[in-house]
Structure 1
Amino acid sequence: MTIPLSSCPPLRRLVATLPLCLLVAAAGCRRFAFPDVPAGYREFAYVSNGASNTVTVLDLVYLRQDRTLRVGNNPSGMDVNQTKQEVYVTNAQSGSVSIIDTAKNQVAATIPVGRLPYSLSVEPSGLRAFVANSGSNSVSVIDLNQRRVVQVAGTGEQPGVARVAPDARTLVVSNRGSGSVSIFNVAPDVGPGSGAPLSLRATFGGCPGATDVAILPDSSKAFVACSGGHQVMAVGLAVLPGSWAARHDTSLLADHFLTFLDVGKTPVHLAMKPDGGEIFVSNYASDSISEVSTSTNEVGGTYVIGNKPVHGIVSADNGTLWVSNFGADSVGIYSIDDGKLEGSVHTGSAPDVMAFSADEHLLLVADAHSGDVSVIRTQDKQGPALFTILPAGGSPNDIVVKAMQGKQ
């Protein structure tokens, strides 16, 4: 008996693939232990395709390509607004940011910023975004309600990553060209006419090729990958005046350099445990990861993981690290509790950035050379496995996920 596609439950199925429903016919079209979702639930992945000047929208409920959106030239970094139904993408060659309305999955606006914007970070309130303009040596502050730039602040040379702290008081910018880190105070948004949001607090040098930034959940420290060498910089961030820490140690009122941590060669990405207890460094030229204790600012060890690791992501339970091995066409699975590599999953060509689905049942891996997204089931009877590969565009640069509960 052939079951029509329309009779299959929508969650996590390849809608356009008839054999899938044939496989599940004997089981009454069950979903093979995929978790249920409520009626009206929608979830999408957004993939910036640098060589195609597009963003691919993937439907994660039906596991299919939803549509392709035309944006600016060479779209690169992306971020999600947690309070609005919007996703943002920097268009490096166009010097702009595209706003994607995730309720309609269409481009709602395009905002000019500086030259060569490669990344952006949305503050927790969802009111402002901070854009690192690599070609202008600056950060643009976007008011997301007014959809316009309200300030441009100078940085070091070739800023690559701008990361706002969880407490929204601090912006940390890595300057690849000058091998430095710029730290800004972020003023509260109290409406129009409230003054410049950013003011420079401190600058720290000696970090060649400064690239990725990780900030602890309590906003007390920042870690920066020095990709031009073999170290990670640790910086203590200024505490709030009047806080318990400030009353006991007034020196903590200022940002302060802590230490350089020796890791592997060419550290390019920092993956932090959700609890902030450890950071895992992807060492591209050493085929390894380094485990950093954020409480003691020490490297616990460096371990072989795979050929050219470029990106890591840690599960919500703090137990598993997934690492994309750019040179091995695979994702390594590292048990944090056991301290060992448990296995790997094959992907498309040159896996790079990754993102979990909202329930973490799926791991999405953007494959830079094959122009697609590998969909890995993180929970399977035989362990994690590649479930399918979905089309994207040329040279995918970033991937983010947005889940929404719509009307029935």
Structure 2
Amino acid sequence: MKIYLIICHFLFLSVVSCKDKQQVQSENIDFPAAYVVNGGSNTISVIDLNEKKVKKMIQLTDLGRFPHHIELSPDGKKLSVALPEFDFTQNHDLLHQATDKKGGIVVLDAQNGKQLYKVALNWVNFNAAFSPDNKELWSASTSHSGEMFVFDAETGAQKEVIFLGADPTEVVFSQNGNYAFVALNESSFILAVNTKLKKAEKFIKVDPFPTNVWAVSDGKIYVENKNLKTVNIVDPETLNVDELLDLDFKPGQIAYNKTLNELWICQAGENKVAYFERKANKWVLKASIETGNDAHAIKFSKDEKTAYVANQMGHTVSVINTASHQKTMDIPVGLNPNGIVLKE
């Protein structure tokens, strides 16, 4: 009789446990959230911004390995994640040898994390960006004859292929949506693509071997160059470089805080974010803020009072008070977080 009761109790706990897990998996994300994509564990950690802790994990293992960078659609309803078969924590130069690796994109419902559709690419890709009008999804294949793929954002149907140049990386848009920009890593140029005509319009001269581009909320396009430790700033109206930053660190993702009029730059491979102030019409380094190991991606809250920094090798997200420029806490997430977006 005692053994029978023990077995019944065990079965009851198992049923309750399974039920709880199902409830967690189906729970809607009805709270202000940060979505953090983890390349090492093939997951998205969903952080409750009120409680400052992970409330939900979205599993991507069945969809692909090494998910890379994450975007939120302009209407806040969809998430896009690149699905390269390449581990970007390795040296990016190894991409030249990874000729057998494929790419891909998965689009998820931002409300519950469920898959809406998935598309495959023949080559590794860095990200998949929604157009500002919410109608299209753009992603570049990183090969010596790189191509830009344009998909219908609602269905995933391919609409266009645009030829680019050697080794394109991240895709970003100007605020008005007239141009998509991409760095051509094996050159001294970034490329401005006319989004209406779906064709390359101008090769913009920058420092040699640009590693990425970032569309920053001040309206400019920032060109990250880890090789020379510089940043070129491009005016999307004139399609010309109008400023250059010489750094003593390798730049990573870049963000602008309008309230403080500060430019924040992740110090790639380090546990710091540098912030700059505007002096004599130039960005001047003011100081650095301690983060976790390998500050990789950064986003400001809507009120710009808090910064969230994904630390790729620290497996955490640092929470920073922007007024005091002090870290308040680290939130553990999955392995190798490489991208973060906020939905408030």
Does TM-score exceed 0.5, indicating one fold?
yes
Shift of 1:302: 2.2
The yes-or-no answer on 1:210 pairing with 2:168 is yes
Residue of structure 1 in register with 2:293 after alignment: 349
Query: Contact 2:229–2:251 at 8 Å: present in 1 too?
Result: yes
Aligned to 1:105: none
Compute the RMSD of aligned alpha carbons: 3.3
Counterparts in 2 of 1:329 and 1:221: CA distance versus 1, 3 Å? same
User: Of 251, 269, 273, which aligns to 2:216?
Assistant: 273
Query: What residue in structure 2 maps to residue 263 of structure 1?
Result: 206
The residue number in structure 2 matching 1:88 is none
Match of 2:254 in 1: 312
Q: Distance in 2 between matches of 1:49 and 1:150?
A: 20
Within a 5 Å distance, the mapping from 1:70-109 to structure 2 comes to 70-72=57-59, 91=60, 94-96=61-63
CA deviations over 1:330-359 (Å, ceiling 9, x no partner): 111123554222222122221111111232
- Matched position secondary structure for 2:128: strand
| CA distance in structure 1 between the aligned counterparts of 2:313 and 2:209, rounded to whole angstroms | 21
| SS in structure 1 at match of 2:227 | helix
Alignment of 1:9-408 (within 5 A): 43-62=32-51, 64-67=52-55, 69-72=56-59, 91=60, 94-96=61-63, 118-119=68-69, 121-125=71-75, 132-135=82-85, 136-139=102-105, 152=119, 155=121, 157-184=123-150, 186=152, 198-206=157-165, 208-238=166-196, 254-274=197-217, 276=219, 278-316=220-258, 319-336=261-278, 337-380=281-324, 384-403=325-344
Superposition deviation, residue 165 in structure 1: 0.8
The Cα shift of 1:291 comes to 0.9
2:267, 2:295 within 8 Å by CA — same for their partners in 1? Answer: yes
C-alpha separation between the residues in 2 aligned to 1:127 and 1:330?
32
* Code of the aligned partner of 2:129: R
Compute the displacement of 1:155 (Å): 4.7
Which 10-residue stretch deviates more, 345-354 or 332-341?
A: 332-341
**1:226-270 CA distance string (max 9 Å, x none):** 2344421111111xxxxxxxxxxxxxxx22322222333543332
Asked whether the equivalents of residues 182 and 200 of structure 1 are also in contact (C-alpha less than 8 Å), the reply is no
Q: Output the TM-score relative to the length of structure 1.
A: 0.62
CA distance in 1: counterparts of 2:68 and 2:193, whole angstroms: 23
Contiguous gaps of at least 5 residues in structure 2: 1-29, 86-101
State the alpha-carbon separation in 2 of the partners of residues 127 and 65 from structure 1.
22
SS at 1:271 equivalent = strand
Q: 1:118 to 1:393 in 2, by over 3 A?
A: closer
Q: Compared with structure 1, are the counterparts of its residues 145 and 273 closer, same or farther at alpha carbon in structure 2 (3 Å cutoff)?
A: closer
- Tell me the secondary structure at the aligned position of residue 129 of structure 2: strand
1:9 aligned partner: none
Change (3 A) 1:343 1:396: same
Shift of 1:148: 5.4
Determine the structure 1 residue equivalent to 2:97: none
Deviations 1:137-188 (A, max 9, x none): 5556668899555674x6552233221211134432111134423242638x
Between the aligned partners of 1:402 and 1:234, the Cα distance in structure 2 is: 28
Counterpart contact for 1:175–1:181, Cα < 8 Å: yes
CA contact (8 A) 1:49 1:397 kept: yes
Overall identity of the aligned pairs, in %? 25
The 1:119–1:272 alpha-carbon spacing in structure 2 relative to 1, beyond 3 Å, is closer
Aligned to 1:22: none
For structure 1, the 5+ residue unaligned runs are 1-40, 73-90, 97-113, 190-195, 239-253, 404-408
